[in-house]
């Protein structure tokens, strides 16, 4: 959470890669769980900075990770999952001006 303004990241390409991995999601039938992740560089959207982030430019290296748990006996991507978590982590380099 940013307390002194906002800025946006262009994650469209990384999101497209992430969605593509879902087609090949492998379910571990021993644990009834599945996981997938993608990583890549994403740029700060030009002109998106507000407040203290006005004029920000740069990029971040992000990783998007999905973890799902399924009901025992129904370990399949076609089955409803019990729990799902999608976490985005990363760091970046930015400049102003």
- Which tens digits make up the pLDDT trace of 6-55? 999 999 999 999 999 998 888 898 899 999 999 999 999 999 999 999 99
* Predicted pLDDT at 71: 85
Distant-in-sequence, close-in-space partners of 26: CB < 8 Å, separation ≥ 6:
34
> Which is nearest to 87 in space by CA: 60, 68, 74, 59?
68
Q: Report the predicted TM-score, pTM, of the whole model to 2 decimal places.
A: 0.84
* Predicted pLDDT at 89: 97
């Amino acid at each position: 959470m940013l307390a002194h303004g906002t800025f946006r990241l262009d994650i469209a390409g990384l999101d497209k890669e992430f969605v593509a991995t879902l087609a090949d999601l492998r379910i571990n039938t021993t644990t009834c769980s599945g996981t997938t992740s993608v990583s890549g560089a994403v740029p700060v959207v030009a002109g998106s900075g507000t407040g203290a982030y006005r004029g920000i430019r740069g990029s971040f290296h992000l990783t998007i990770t999905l973890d799902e748990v399924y009901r025992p006996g129904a370990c399949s991507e076609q089955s409803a999952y019990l729990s799902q978590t999608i976490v985005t982590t990363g760091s970046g380099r930015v400049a102003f001006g």
